[in-house]
Chains A and B, each alone.
Chain A
Amino acid sequence: MTKHFGTERALLAVLIFATLLVLAASVRYGAVDFSIPAIGRALVSLLPGRPEPTLEQRIFLELRLPRAVLCLLVGASLGVGGALMQALFQNPIVEPGLVGTSSGAAFGSALFFVLGGVFQIGASRWSLPLAACLGGILSTYLVFLLARSREDGRASIVLLLLTGLAVNALFMSAIGFLSYIARDPQARSITFWSLGTLSGANWRAVQIVAVSTVGGTLVALRYAKQLNALMIGEEEATYLGVNVNRLKWIILSVNVVIVAVATAFTGVISFVGLVVPHILRMLRGSDNRFLIVGSALVGAMLLSLADLIARLSLRPAELPIGIVTSAVGVPVFLFLLRRRRYVF
């Protein structure tokens, strides 16, 4: 679509700029505000040959900055995850939080913390994301297995949402149980898992989430054109040369990995994946080649904004970020549910 290529690039440039602005605000304001010169000095203190950073600078470098970056990455993951699920199930009201992926991943990571505490296992840095992925696969698979119609193998949306609700409740109750018996402080906080928070951010989490987010997004982009073909139906996509079953497996796997890894470090953050692709479709249509990159950017930006609100609204205390995203996301979800005329 050469005719639109210019505006597409312009829109991406605007989104990148806006995301950087939000990032700047996000590192500057919080429980403690850092002035721009102070941020500059903190960053300069990382250069070799400089004196050790001061306590204030260390707070910035080891708490504020990794949190802001992790927030961008997690937001991007959830945005891309939402775009992929919607494309895959050809349904605009699907998102990772609704079909069980997030709660399964949260369960996997909570289990890891509890068992790790009991049996002293899990030395590798990849154990936690791996546990989250396994939980995410388990729950997503469970939802789609149970929601599948016997006649044509396709999941009807009502069945999908209700099954998602039930599986979410199941995994959340399991998390509740784990939190109850847990000794690990992170696993002990059920709020952490069910409402999501970025307060535990550190550079190690940033590294791991960066790998899954960037890797997953790049893989997804390779299949963007095939996902477009899926919009006119599975049969038609097959006639256009798409191996639909293979595509489904690849996209579902990418989605589970990026969402589960993000969830492992932040808990369940709902509705970002639902809202973000819609904003982009309104701005620039449904082409997945654009939608995936755009959802990464808008997801990053929106989650950073939400985190900023979560940190500033009750300063110096903070809200779980999931409260903010749900407050914005639920009305959008209800609006979509009302507007689309689904056959129930």
Chain B
Amino acid sequence: MLDASDITFRVGDKALITDVSVSFAPGRLHLIIGPNGAGKSTLIKVLARLLRPQTGVVRYEGVDARHASEAELAKRRAVLSQAVEVAFPLTVREVVMMGRYPHFGSRPAPVDEKITDELMEFFDVTEFAERNYQTLSGGERQRVNFARVLAQLWRTDSPSHAQHGPPLAPASCRYLFLDEPLTFLDIRHQIEFMKKVRVFTDAPDVVTVGVVHDLNLAARFADQLVLMDGGRIVANGSAAEVLSAERIRDVFGVTPTFVPVEQSGVHLIFD
């Protein structure tokens, strides 16, 4: 369970988010949508504790995030960013293994090696495990980073991609944040990514909060949509509740047409 209450984050005099209160439950996929400058990324960074808000509290299972140490938090909170550049040549395997850094001392344990291998397999990057990350395409890089981020949260005792396994105590929730991870991906990779996020979030102890731009993608995959505008949350609920024509017009300034689609209910087309 992740709770944010009365969060305000300012840079100088400018409030990027104002009085935001929202909570996120494990096992559900939450996606934040909204126009540019709505404060989506800022909220993700505040939730992930990269940014400290001037007022308000973020609680992980009821515990104030300010009291957690960086090292402890890193074992159960991971963030996938838009794009990751590296300054030096690193192999794909080395990058994925970084996800295990919070879990081992100086040298990786066999379990860390195993998880790294599993996730490279899961994201289909095993074939270029020894290749230089810098030489990969944007889509390939993002797959590698996703593997790294999930390696950080992976638990061998409860394989998260399987939908069985005993539910864990709420105290051991894992938090996955997605900070516009689809930006540089083509449509096929976007959908593959969201499917993998969906699978991972089906684990009963995983809280997932992400930012995406594509409203159709958001509506299709999210259990809960959070619509932001001007640093505030303007709607919060299921896709059907949040995505009304009137609201989309108000917030995004475009007029949608709802086209019924067999698998996922409706599809939005914009003028």
Q: Are A2 and B48 in contact (CB-based, < 8 A)?
A: no
Q: Which residues of A contact B70 (CB under 8 A)?
A: 238, 241-243
> Closest CB of chain A to B110's CB: distance in Å?
8
> Closest CB of chain A to B85's CB: distance in Å?
7
| Interface 0/1 of B56-88, CB less than 8 Å to A | 000000000000001111110111010011111
A285: interface (CB < 8 Å) = yes
| New contact pairs (14) apart from A228-B101, A229-B98, CB-CB < 8 Å | A1-B93, A1-B97, A90-B87, A90-B88, A225-B106, A228-B94, A239-B77, A239-B79, A240-B99, A240-B101, A241-B70, A281-B89, A286-B88, A286-B90
> Closest CB of chain B to A226's CB: distance in Å?
8
Q: Are B74 and A239 in contact (CB-based, < 8 A)?
A: yes
Bound complex: CA A86 to CA B86 (Å): 12
Which of under 10, 10 to 19, 20 to 34, or 35 or more describes the interface residues of A? 20 to 34
Q: Which of B50, B94, B95 contacts A238 (CB 8 A)?
A: B50
Bound complex: CA A231 to CA B48 (Å): 20
Q: Which residues of A contact B152 (CB under 8 A)?
A: 239-240
Q: Which residues of B contact A287 (CB under 8 A)?
A: 94
**Smallest CB gap from A89: residue in B:** B87
21 A-B residue pairs with Cβ-Cβ distance under 8 Å, sorted by A, are: A1-B93, A1-B97, A90-B87, A91-B87, A228-B98, A228-B101, A231-B87, A231-B88, A233-B84, A233-B85, A233-B86, A235-B81, A239-B77, A239-B152, A240-B99, A240-B152, A241-B75, A241-B101, A285-B91, A287-B94, A289-B106
Bound complex: CA A289 to CA B101 (Å): 13
B102: interface (CB < 8 Å) = yes
A236: interface (CB < 8 Å) = yes
A232: interface (CB < 8 Å) = yes
A92: interface (CB < 8 Å) = yes
Seen from chain B, the residues whose Cβ lies within 8 Å of a Cβ on chain A are 48, 50, 70-75, 77-79, 81, 84-91, 93-95, 97-99, 101-102, 106, 108, 113, 152
Q: Which residues of B contact A90 (CB under 8 A)?
A: 87-88
Bound complex: CA A239 to CA B77 (Å): 8
Q: Which residues of A contact B101 (CB under 8 A)?
A: 225, 228-229, 240-241
Q: Which residues of A contact B102 (CB under 8 A)?
A: 240-241
Bound complex: CA A189 to CA B108 (Å): 51
Q: Which residues of B contact A2 (CB under 8 A)?
A: 108, 113
Contacts known (A2-B113, A289-B106); A240 close to B75, Cβ less than 8 A = no
Contact residues, A89-131 vs B (CB, 8 A) = 90-92
Q: Which residues of B contact A232 (CB under 8 A)?
A: 84, 86, 90, 95, 98
**Smallest CB gap from B71: residue in A:** A241
Contacts known (A232-B86, A241-B70, A281-B88); A1 close to B98, Cβ less than 8 A = no
Q: Which residues of A contact B97 (CB under 8 A)?
A: 1
Q: Are B74 and A241 in contact (CB-based, < 8 A)?
A: yes
Q: Are A1 and B90 in contact (CB-based, < 8 A)?
A: no
Bound complex: CA A239 to CA B175 (Å): 12
> Closest CB of chain B to A155's CB: distance in Å?
13
> Closest CB of chain A to B3's CB: distance in Å?
20
**Smallest CB gap from A340: residue in B:** B87
